Amino acid sequence: MKVEQKRLRALPTDKLVDTLASLRKEPPLPEQPALGFFTDTSICIGCKACEVACKQWNQLPATDPEWSGTSYDNTRQLGATTWRHVQFIEQVRRKPLQEKLSPHRLDLPLLEDQIAEARNNGVIPETPPEAALPFFNSDRWLMHSDVCKHCANAPCHEACPTGAIIRTEFDTVYVQQDICNGCGYCAVACPFGVIARDEKGDHTAHKCTLCYDRLKDGMQPACAKACPTHSIVFGEVEQLKLQAQERLGFLQQHGVNEARLYGADDTILEGGLHSFFLLLDEPEVYNLPRNPARPANNVVPASLWTIVAALIMGLLGIFFLKKND
């Protein structure tokens, strides 16, 4: 009896303390070096292991199978339940091949003869040694594993009105599912079309978390772990950028002049991307915008224009009403 009375008396204070404790701002977690991905499309083999690993680890439901009719890519785009997405780009008989390649390439074996032989005889000839197959053919098949870019100035983060989208201690962009109320502003703001609202599930916004739960335990993200060719490299952004430059230098030295980095410099979105790519063609070929804009830059001008419009309407109103005097 005495114990029960004590508990009764203690309960309200406990609750009060709990409520106050939840209102107190937690100290920020210790800063860590920024982590990200370097996705090297020149060695991607399109196995989709990253897609599968991502779905498995994050327990994402499968999308309804739908035949795209364009390539092996039936997913078509990143979405609320697709956080890694492999694209397949088939380029047949690219035309101005000579212009695109550096003079260095001239001493490398051309495969035009072998391709003609294969076409005519139906036999695949032996590849000469030293031939770097996918880069110098007139026909080639590009694969690209797309993912959230974890932008330094993330438009989704800027647009989020609830504060559900935050920057973690690893400087990644993360959606807190218990805060998000599904307004959809992030989905429109993202210049890469990454984040989306889950219309079939919990109606909140979802995207790649860079496997925040795995990072917390010192593990690497599931897609990077599963990648069999190390096309997806995970690590500290600063080091990855150096690695990307090195790889680009190697490729260009060997005559692949079309190789380029996407998002590795700080120009894109006024701060660069924490998940960047080595591409073998124009960014548009991979459905990446060449020079995306920050939607947040439009907020102030648009607001000012609204005020100007209201002022003009008001002045016209004065004019109209004055006539009646």
Cα 291 off chain centre by: 15
Give the Cα separation of 87 and 146 in Å (integer): 7
Contact residue for other proteins among 160, 227, 259, 278 (CB under 8 A): 160
Q: Residue 243, interface with other proteins (CB under 8 A)? A: no
Based on CB atoms, which residue is closest to other proteins, 205 or 222? 205
Q: Residue 235, interface with other proteins (CB under 8 A)? A: no
Under DSSP, the state recorded for 104 is: G
Across 122-146, b (16+ Cβ under 10 Å) vs e yields eeeeeeeeeebeebbbeebebbbbb
Contact residue for other proteins among 127, 229, 267, 303 (CB under 8 A): 303
Give the tokens for residue 305: 């224009």
Contact residue for other proteins among 302, 304, 305, 308 (CB under 8 A): 302
**Least distance (Å) between residue 125 CB and other proteins:** 31
- Asked if 137 contacts 100 with a C-beta cutoff of 8 angstroms, the reply is no
**166-225 binders of other proteins (CB under 8 A):** 179-185, 187-188, 190-193, 195-199, 202-205
**Least distance (Å) between residue 156 CB and other proteins:** 10
Give the Cα separation of 42 and 277 in Å (integer): 10
Contact residue for other proteins among 117, 158, 236, 258 (CB under 8 A): 158
Give the tokens for residue 181: 């109320």
Angle at 207 between CA 205 and CA 211, to 5 degrees: 130
Q: Residue 106, interface with other proteins (CB under 8 A)? A: no
Residues binding other proteins: number (CB under 8 A): 59
Q: Residue 97, interface with other proteins (CB under 8 A)? A: no
Strands 173-175 and 165-167: antiparallel
Helix (H) or strand (E) holding 250, with range, is: helix 237-253
Phi, psi of 249 (to 5 degrees): -60, -45
Based on CB atoms, which residue is closest to other proteins, 89 or 224? 89
Based on CB atoms, which residue is closest to other proteins, 261 or 296? 296
Based on CB atoms, which residue is closest to other proteins, 155 or 214? 155
Q: First-to-last CA distance in the chain?
A: 84
Q: Residue 41, interface with other proteins (CB under 8 A)? A: no
In this structure, the chain runs to a length of 325
Binding window for other proteins (CB under 8 A); candidates: 53-61, 64-72, 108-116, 250-258? 64-72
Residues that bind other proteins (CB under 8 A): 68, 70-71, 73, 76-77, 87, 89, 158-164, 179-185, 187-188, 190-193, 195-199, 202-205, 281-282, 284-289, 296, 299-300, 302-303, 310, 313-314, 317-318, 321-322, 324-325
